[in-house]
Amino acid sequence: MKKFLFPLIAAAAVMPAMAETVTVFEDAVFYDGYLLDNHPEKDLNDGILRHYTYLYATKLSEEQLSKIGTTLDMKVAVTACCDNYDRIGNINLAFVPKGQESYNPDEVSRIETGRFITPFMNMNRNPKTVPYSYNVDFLSEILRDASLRENYDIWMEFELFGIPYAANQQIAGCAGRNDVFMGTLQFETSEPAPLSTNNVLIPIVIKKPEYKGNNLNNYNENATDEVGKTEKTYTFELSEDLADGQIVLITSNHGANAGGEEYNRRMHYVYIDGELVHSYRPGRTSCEPFRVYNTQVNGIYGYFPMSNAAWQSFSNWCPGDVIDNRLIGTGPISAGTHTVKISVPDAVFADGQGDIPVSMFFQGARKGSVPSAGIDAVYAEEWPVLKLDVIDNMLTVKSDAEIMSIEIHNLNGVRLHEQFGNGAVNTAAFEKGLVLVTVNFPDGRSLTQKVTLR
């Protein structure tokens, strides 16, 4: 089975001269998330369906859909109002039976297409708006899918849960206010392309708001396969054999309590049909590029720049940055039931707090290949060369780049060994068979290889 990974990123593709802009939301005002459906503008007749104060939707018109080409960038802009903390936001697609003027989000199929974290923003200081950009060429096939277009209306959702209580006290002009952010969503696309009959879409899971719980953790029986373990298995069903496929996965670690999962970079493992297909450790090389958007004094960005190593010691994500879409290829895949397991074996969830919101869907192609996007610009340079050898129970690691640390896990994700710096590892005490060796580099990148211990 062919396997590949393209992490999707903030850098958007270069559009041709005939690029078209499709505006979906423009300066939509979000309010205190805990007001839920008690929305001060719920009856405003502007084409926006306000499910909750944090979740808005609008139906894509035939005119908008007809402009979609094969190259697609998604542009999000968030403007500060009266929430000065880092919050999680995301953009979704909802597939609603034709002709409905409203829908219940819990009763229709939905997929998440992009996630982001707001910066700590003081609405009185510039810049007041933070931009997020994603290359989402793979969404073109979905938006141009002839069968979906025939049976469903496609609604875009903008989700952003904010809370004004701290800003009410700390930010001049915010006393008594409950507006938290404004949001804009646009697509930039190449010249229009015809409808497609090649695409297969299977929604698998979409993240839940924090107050609803049941995202991935190790202490809630609805959030794990087994209490005490941070792993969750999801299933999806294919009705036909496909020439190619991919899992589109979004995860981010949350829990701001002491020792919380926001502050600990953990190895994540993805298994498809029981086979390990991808491992990753979230986090950027540095969060310094996003300092400019963090205009409110906070506990993440101090008064002075921090080194790459300092950022990598605690940050799973950067306030003001996107969360990567991870595209994990399956290659040709047969009809039937398939499983995807997400495992984060080292996660602790101190004091029973925090979670890992997981969103995931399957996209397949009846012929040819799925339309994946390019590699993260941060990591587009040539990767380090890595060579692993095991001789007489001694594992040696050689690379043309400096090695920061080495980790060894078994195929269930249990960590067997960790060391900083490079040096031979005595494997005599380890169980024989396949293990995973992860080599971490000072710039934040990691490479994982399978090694057989005999």
- The amino acid occupying position 50 is R
Answer yes or no: is pLDDT of 11 > 60: no
Asked whether the beta carbons of 189 and 140 are under 8 A apart, the reply is yes
Q: In what order do the strands lie in the sheet with 415-420?
A: 415-420, 405-410, 433-440, 446-453
Pairing of strands 322-323, 231-238: unpaired
The reply to whether 386-453 shares the fold of 5-379 is no
- Summarised one tens digit per residue, pLDDT across range 243-263 is 999 999 999 999 999 999 999
In this structure, the number of other CB atoms found within 10 A of the CB of residue 253 comes to: 25
Answer yes or no: is pLDDT of 200 > 70: yes
Report pTM.
0.84
- pLDDT, residue 167, reads 96
Q: Which helix (H) or strand (E) holds 328?
A: strand 325-329
User: 45-59: b or e for each residue (b if 16 or more CB lie within 10 Å)?
Assistant: eeebbbbbbbbbbbb
What's 394's DSSP letter?
A: E
- Summarised one tens digit per residue, pLDDT across range 117-169 is 999 999 999 999 999 999 999 999 999 999 999 999 999 999 999 999 999 99
Reduce the secondary structure of 54-75 to three states and give it as a string.
Answer: CEEEEECCHHHHHCCCCCEEEE
Asked whether the beta carbons of 146 and 112 are under 8 A apart, the reply is no
Record: fold of 386-453: Immunoglobulin-like (2.60.40)
The Cα–Cα gap between 302 and 205 comes to 37
Asked whether the beta carbons of 188 and 69 are under 8 A apart, the reply is no
Domain boundaries, the chain: 5-379, 386-453
Record: fold of 5-379: Jelly Rolls (2.60.120)
